[in-house]
Structure 1
Amino acid sequence: MIIVFGLLALAVVAALYRYLWRRLVRDTTTGWGRPRRLGTALFVAGPAMMFAALFAELGHAPFLLQRVLAWPGFLWMALSLYLLLAVVAGEVARPLLGRLLERSPRKHPGPERPFGGAGNRATSHHGEQLSPQTEAPLRQLTRTENPAPAPAPASAPTRRLFVSRVVGGAAATAAVTTVGLGTYGVLRGPGVKRVTVPLAKLPRAAHGYRIAVVSDIHLGPVLGRGFAQRVVDTVNATQPDLIAVVGDLVDGSVQDLGPAAAPLAQLSARHGSYFVTGNHEYFSGAPQWIEEVRTLGLRPLENARTELTHFDLAGVNDLAGESTGQGPDFDRALAGRDPARACVLLAHQPVQIHEAVRHHVDLQLSGHTHGGQLWPGNIVAAAANPTVAGLDRYGDTQLYVSRGAGAWGPPTRVGAPSDITVIELASRQA
């Protein structure tokens, strides 16, 4: 079944790329000249680089190879999405533009009538036919005085070709601009969101307590040490009381990405920094990364709880750990706590909210969704998660989902800007 599904998916992808090639290359060029050959080469090399980048990362290829393939391959992935959306939108504009051109006034010069013609005899100015002996010199004189017209210039593009070039050019411009701006937004680093969350059990003394929520940094072959430093600087600038790193820190091994993660040692908060695993940690060697973040000064919460001065802070492993016996254990993390104290839970995936409700958690902090990352990916994310981004309530439990600081795959975000969220807890007794 996996093989059949894979072949079916490959056939669908091939059909979509053929559609894009036909609209953007074949329909906008004439013959197999250089423009068509270059366009065809791009639509062969682009998908090849994309799949190579994916397989290199998922297959744990040498890190240098991953870095070489990642930029062109993953950027092509994002560009393909927006080329497809733009070309499909262009199908609406195509007939409208064609009709507009049909209605536009055009001048068609009439053909000049040749002097004499087949089967016609030249005549004098009196209308008399000339004898053949007189006609021949006259025709020769006429040819001399009225030389044959120059060859007509090459015909302009047909209306269909013109429409294809306008629509295709607009689609390509829109896609490149969208991906360019979305990539710039990721590389310049996440912005800061501030959200106030009231908790009924929070004592007055903890009113205004600030938790910096950082998720989905995704250090890897694209986002490296420089990006990690920008994240750390942004977090520290908020001067939080506590820092919560809620999973998907890395996409790769400690050996390859240890230097990239080193700036995390600079994270500074009055009550420390805490970490829970995300699903990507289990693709990257979760036990090794748990030890690595510990050496960087973060405290891992592996299905564990710590009692802070004014509330309990708990953390559970990600669901992806179940395959290795390291999955979430809410009973271990939350059983036996004082129910009169407020409890904040760190859990990477929003779907873990249902267990949090069952265990009477007051607030769950999550990531994982990226807010959809690439519009309209938010529709897909909404189908798989109870909340895609922002603050929501489930019974007596509140859930906050961060859009994340980085990006997976394409270093690009469209309609879902990256963020670091400062959660300010509010006491209802204040």
Structure 2
Amino acid sequence: MKGLSILHLSDLHINKKSSVDSIKELVSLCNKSSAQFVVITGDIIDCKVKFIKEKLEILNKIEKQTYYISGNHDLFYGFEPLKNCLKNLICLDNKTEIFEYQNKKIAIGGFSDRFSKFFGIKREEQKVLKFLQNYEYAILLAHQPKDYTFALKSNCKLFLCGHTHGGQIYPFHYVVKLSQPFLKGLHYRDQTAIYVNKGLGYWGINFRFKANNEISLLKLR
């Protein structure tokens, strides 16, 4: 997968206070980037879809192939309405896709968030892993870092996630580390690269300290 570029977004947390201009700016950045495709690893929304429908539909103007999965906030506020808004984006909750790059097939799979069982949604982990195991080049998407163990089981080259906000406000970093194996950035386990995106949005209050928000352009080499 040498030379492949992926634009990694996470934890947008779009809500009533999110500006239309900021979302348009994000879409413009995606379209101008050198990435072959875009992934969003959960928590796109932070309120009910009916209040932000017009804002969410702006994301459909991303011209590059874009894959997304659910986060815990998406499930809480309504994942079905969200999917209905994002008609031009590909939902990979418990699904798989093939992306062709330089005559090679890259398998991409995703999980619904770990909280999905509380919303009557079954995570089809084995189905996704079995598909990914058949390909030399495979990428797994999940919202929470602790799902990295599934990437190791399926021999994925790359695991992408978010959820932590990088702690958002120091010293809450230490609290996050009690429940998640990774807080932010790049890590390696066996032959798998793990990247934890700190996210663009906020949870609770619109404030970050020692955990700046992030858009990641990942270049494989």
Sequence identity (%):
26
Query: Structure 1: where are the runs of 5+ without partners?
Result: 1-201
**What amino acid sits opposite 1:275 in the alignment?**
Y
**What amino acid sits opposite 2:201 in the alignment?**
G
Query: Structure 2: where are the runs of 5+ without partners?
Result: none
Superposed, 1:48-197 pairs within 5 Å as none
**3-state SS, counterpart of residue 335 of structure 1:** helix
2:207 is the alignment partner of 1:421 = no
* CA positional deviation for 1:260: 1.7
Name the CA distance, whole Å, in 2 between partners of 1:337 and 1:216: 25
* CA positional deviation for 1:334: 2.4
For the pair shown, the structure with the greater C-alpha radius of gyration is 1
**3-state SS, counterpart of residue 255 of structure 1:** helix
Contact 1:212 1:421 in 2 (8 A): yes
Contact 2:132 2:138 in 1 (8 A): no
In proportion to residue count, which structure has more helix? Answer: 1
**What amino acid sits opposite 1:308 in the alignment?**
F
**What amino acid sits opposite 1:242 in the alignment?**
F
Question: 1:254 corresponds to which residue?
Answer: 49
Give runs of ≥4 in structure 1 deviating > 3 Å. 336-340
Question: 2:136 corresponds to which residue?
Answer: 341
Name the CA distance, whole Å, in 2 between partners of 1:235 and 1:379: 32
Contact 2:132 2:154 in 1 (8 A): no
In proportion to residue count, which structure has more strand? Answer: 2
* CA positional deviation for 1:340: 4.6
1:165-224 Cα shifts (integer Å, max 9, x gaps):
xxxxxxxxxxxxxxxxxxxxxxxxxxxxxxxxxxxxx3xxxx211110000000113224
Residue among 29, 45, 60 paired with 1:265: 60
Residue among 89, 96, 99 paired with 1:298: 89
**TM-score, length basis structure 1:** 0.48
Q: Which has the higher contact order (CA 8 A, sep 6+)?
A: 2
* CA positional deviation for 1:391: 0.6
2:9 is the alignment partner of 1:214 = yes
Residue among 158, 161, 165 paired with 1:370: 165
Residue among 226, 229, 243 paired with 2:21: 226
The number of residue pairs the alignment matches comes to: 217
RMSD of aligned C-alpha atoms?
1.6
Question: 1:283 corresponds to which residue?
Answer: 76
Contact 1:319 1:327 in 2 (8 A): no
1:50-92 Cα shifts (integer Å, max 9, x gaps):
xxxxxxxxxxxxxxxxxxxxxxxxxxxxxxxxxxxxxxxxxxx
